Structure 1
């Protein structure tokens, strides 16, 4: 059964065309993810579906009688209401049924009205409505129903908005970045709920684990065309690669034919026969096809990192408490070169406060933070850019100079740098307030990286970034030689780039776990956490999970970190080796570059052998 049809819609702002002639449908029981690059119109299409905007052409048709709900990134809650009052203030069909039943009870003589109200209560399963909504609120950790909305955190407001929608049990649920501002526990609960519930979903999300485990179809808006994939995220990646390879092969064939046809066209006399006219018409079709090769602009990140001395950052017996909770309790840690640490924990356990203390934007009650003389911190916060009124994109970058230093003594102009971050010449002179949420994040990331930090701190960097930009950011961070500290609810992102975790348990308890997020979840699921002690002052470092379980693993904490890092490095080296070998096999190496390529390949092979040998040494210790 078709619930909603998007039919040939288009949208443009002046000369800028967001999308043109876009069509797709949403059917009962489909769980669809909508994927597109930032700035290509995802949010605009979501707003059109929900009636907040209109297309320039085409139409959106919702099946009559379908109950549709929308979870936006901005909550529409009333600050002066309590959590429970917010539930009853919502436009919920079940609440209307209950209200009608209560009115029917006031006038029992009207048997027809009473019977209809009674039947509606049965049909909507409204008899135990209170139990239902309290169960969902409990699952979403909203247990104090008397709390005012204005006193809730951003994460709590998002959960309340989500609860109101889930309680209403819509036929069609539209979600715009549903995992933003939720902690990992809530994301996993929501993932499990949606994967099991018989509900129709249409969502925009960058959370690739969520896409993998919830969605059964993906719709992609790519280069102004819509492509549909009947499967989850893994299936989408596989089929998209096949599609692009096929498109490129088709374009290559058209280009070869175009060259031949162009030569024929130039030989043609002015007088035209019917036969040659037909061939001339075909020529222009071939020309259009030959010039249609994908323009996959790629964000190019390059950094001229400051030299890092022996002392990085040391936190000594740092304590931070608020009247209602303790964030840090005599926390000590000495950061080492090249560390890649992820920070996880429930909302409200103090992750952002920890970063503010580390960067000295907030003072601890006791203890101290010692930053090495050579350390230059780059801090990507959740607050993002605060542009001046009327400021343009190019103005933001020029605040750091007309020319920006890169690696190997190179420099680049502000305009060229923005082009590397996918801001074309026209977009650079747009007002900052016109940018989409993802474009704002990308611009902010640019301003952080061009300062060439050697200690990079990222607080929720993946929110609002499209999947293409996320992949590029991950590739950059894998090669980043400095220290990296990341707070993120993106499990895929964390798995890919961090070597160990600081786990914020609350009440000042911070645990050091040597592995990525999936390792941590596997450990948590396999047994009750034991021996995971707080980061302490002993030897200016922590007695971590692996040190306290060394008899079980055979590896010390540092060895476990090294083991995890080597596995990732081996994978990268194998990829580079296969890439160069393929270039040789395909005959794509120029004669004057054969020797250099061969030397590069030998270095990779040697490094691979050394790392594999060390991997076997460490793996032999694992029982």
Structure 2
């Protein structure tokens, strides 16, 4: 099914064109990543598609049966309302009864028996149990609890997760044909949440258009890449690696084309100067062609590369040493006797679930927070570069070039030469015309890029990077990775970007909770492989032990617990759902075996059989789990 057609779309921001005369199509089942530099119109294009912004020219056609749902960077919640009220803000009978049921059965709340019975009755009438199970899964996986608290009391990261939950619940409830638009969906998610989201989007078989800096997520979810570059749109089928290869070929062809146009331009310019004033039809056509050649010859082919042999501030023999460090906030234990001595050039990644104290650990290294006990000794030659999540802090609005020159006029290189502030800005994708823009006029991603640049321009020898990839575009990430690979100092990175971590770190500090920190020798992918293998080993002996217990002592009473009311209700509903699915499966199998079905009906029925088998498997496993607990 054809979802979206875009023809001749043009949009400018003030006098600066974002994109010009772009066209593309979106078909049902497409999963497209939109790639571009910050400030070149990615978010604007997404907002135009969902009707929240208008183009200067061109048309957007969306099929009348398609519902567009968007996850934006700015969620627009009513901060005085609760999580539940913001998530279920549609006035719909099914959503209303689920909202009421979830509030009545919230953990720690003693429900009104009559109200609960009424809610259960309406859940039965509206057949809302299946959708309620999906809601529970989404909220649980995104670690969203205490649904009656106001959204205004949540952190920015928690609010982003609530916004994501709302979008996923909306697409589950909306009509069959949904175009899901997502702007940086992985920001503020820990890695386990990102991996769950990858699988969820794949299973839901949604039609998707997203902006993301997470290259593993992009590869896992998307099968097509659209790039906005120099006001034009380029489309690449396939994964991120294929995109890089095809883009390199395109840029090489562009350079050759521009060189050819410049040679032709020189010849045509000489002819234009010599031509008589009287114009014939032939000379008029050649003059028109001359201006086309001139425009092509004037094209600037940007080289988005960074090659800096950095002259780093000298590192002494003593770097950074932690001795028997303890830190806790009430019941939250962050460090419990942590010991470590950093070496020259060390690259450490820090991973762990949200809320285990990763940012607190960085603040202690930087001296912003103090440990409860123990010592943190910092070498005299250490110059920290602190790239935090708080973002760029400017006392008063100023131009980009002025901000950088206030730090230093030049950046020293190892060969004794210097790079000027303007040249350094160009290397970080701030062209000359952008350098005189006021900081207040930059996009969110451009401000993040300028913040990063300002940290590196101070010439530190120990970089502390807290979520450096959030809101950065892919070209800037490539530049940052190249810079850090050449950087001779120490680097500590807290990041949920698995690709970024795999490329840069040598070992990991894994915050496992309860003050335990594991020093793992390898990158993030290697750690996940080890973790899965370790989990497999841990579960295998338990199964053998269970078998031995059954054989040796079959009379021993099994450990059971009483199911909660909600679990009992779920068990009853599962039995009914499994029975319905078995009946549907038999009906479809009989129709397929009859040989009387037309070909156009066979394919959807075969597809439905696969769905039923998967549902039976999932629901059967959950039924076994609850039955075993119930004894």
8 Å CA contact 1:155, 1:347 repeated in 2: no
Q: Say how many residue pairs are matched.
A: 511
Return the alpha-carbon distance in structure 1 between the equivalents of residues 384 and 155 of structure 2: 28
Aligned pairs for 1:41-80 (under 5 A) are 41-80=41-80
Residue of structure 1 equivalent to 2:240: 233
| Structure 2 CA distance for aligned equivalents of residues 260 and 195 of structure 1 | 55
Cα deviation per residue 1:504-547 (whole Å; 9 max; x = unaligned)? Answer: 1111111111111111111112232889xxxxxxxxxxxxxxxx
1:488 lines up with 2:495 in the alignment: yes
- 5+ unaligned residues in a row in structure 2: which ranges? 100-121, 539-631
Q: Does 1:27 align with 2:30?
A: no
- Is residue 2:207 matched to residue 1:200? yes
> Is 1:339 aligned to 2:346, yes or no?
yes
Q: 1:419 to 1:91 in 2, by over 3 A?
A: farther
Partner of 2:298: 291
Change (3 A) 1:125 1:227: farther
CA-atom RMSD in angstroms: 2.8
Preserved contact between residue 31 and residue 202 of structure 1 (Cα < 8 Å): yes
Instruction: Give yes or no for the alignment of 1:320 onto 2:339.
Output: no
Cα distance in 2, alignment partners of residues 319 and 529 from structure 1: 32
Q: Distance in 1 between matches of 2:457 and 2:505?
A: 22
TM-score (norm 1): 0.76
Contact 2:429 2:476 in 1 (8 A): no
Question: Counterpart in 2 of 1:10?
Answer: 10
What is residue 126 of structure 1 aligned with on the other side?
128
Contact 1:301–1:420 (CA<8 Å) still a contact in 2?
no
Deviations 1:24-47 (A, max 9, x none): 232221111111111111122222
| Alpha carbons 1:2, 1:26 under 8 Å: kept | yes
**Distance change in 2, residues 1:295/1:401 (3 Å):** closer
Shift of 1:403: 4.2
Aligned runs of 1:467-546 on 2, under 5 Å? 467-528=474-535
Encode CA deviations 1:438-470: one digit per residue, 9 max, x unaligned. 110111112111111111111111111111111
In the other structure, the counterpart of 1:381 is: 388
The residue number in structure 2 matching 1:163 is 165
> Is the contact made by 1:92 and 1:168 (CA closer than 8 Å) also made in structure 2?
no
Q: Distance between the aligned counterparts of 2:203 and 2:131, measured in 1?
A: 21
Match of 1:410 among 417, 425, 432: 417
Query: Residue 309 of structure 2 contacts residue 486 of structure 2 at CA under 8 Å; is this kept in 1?
Result: no
Q: Distance in 1 between matches of 2:34 and 2:262?
A: 32
Query: Which of 355, 360, 366 does residue 348 from structure 1 map onto?
Result: 355
Once residues 309 and 49 of structure 2 are traced to their aligned partners in structure 1, the CA distance between those partners, rounded to angstroms, is 39
Give SS of 1:202's match: strand
- SS of 1:77's equivalent in the other structure is coil
Confirm or deny: 8 A CA contact 1:158 1:181 kept in the other structure: yes
Q: 1:430 to 1:527 in 2, by over 3 A?
A: same
The worse-fitting range, judged by mean Cα deviation, of 16-25 and 323-332 is 16-25
1:416-431 correspondence runs (5 A):
416-431=423-438
| Greater shift in the superposed pair: 461-470 or 69-78 | 69-78
Give the deviation of 1:198 after TM superposition. Answer: 1.3
Q: Secondary structure at the match of 1:75?
A: coil
- Equivalent residue for 1:595? none
1: CA distance, partners of 2:429 / 2:272: 38
List alignment gaps of at least 5 residues for structure 1.
100-119, 532-623
| Distance in 2 between residues matched to 1:29 and 1:123, nearest whole Å | 33
Q: Establish whether residue 310 from structure 1 lines up as the match of residue 317 from structure 2.
A: yes
Q: CA deviation at 1:5?
A: 3.1
Match of 2:379 in 1: 372
Distance change >3 Å, CA 454–CA 75, structure 1 → 2:
same
Q: Residue 189 of structure 1 corresponds to which residue in structure 2?
A: 196
Q: Is the 8 A contact 1:33 1:219 kept in 2?
A: yes
Question: Aligned partners of 1:43 and 1:246: how far apart in 2?
Answer: 29
From the superposition, tell whether residues 13 and 163 of structure 1 become closer, same or farther in structure 2 (CA, over 3 Å).
closer
2: CA distance between counterparts of 1:41 and 1:293?
A: 19
Distance 2:250 2:203 in 1: 31
Q: Find 1:176's aligned residue among 183, 208, 231.
A: 183
User: Cα distance, 1:269 vs. partner?
Assistant: 5.5
Q: Deviations over 1:81-127 (max 9, x none)?
A: 4444443335668427989xxxxxxxxxxxxxxxxxxxx99999635
**Does structure 1 retain, via aligned residues, the 8 Å contact 2:306–2:482?**
no
TM-score using structure 2 length: 0.75
SS at match of 1:309: coil
For residues 276 and 149 of structure 1, what CA distance do their matches in structure 2 show?
Answer: 69
CA distance in 1, matches of 2:228, 2:165: 30
For each residue in 1:418-445, what CA deviation from the matched residue of structure 2 results, as whole angstroms up to 9, or x when unmatched?
3333323432232211111111011111
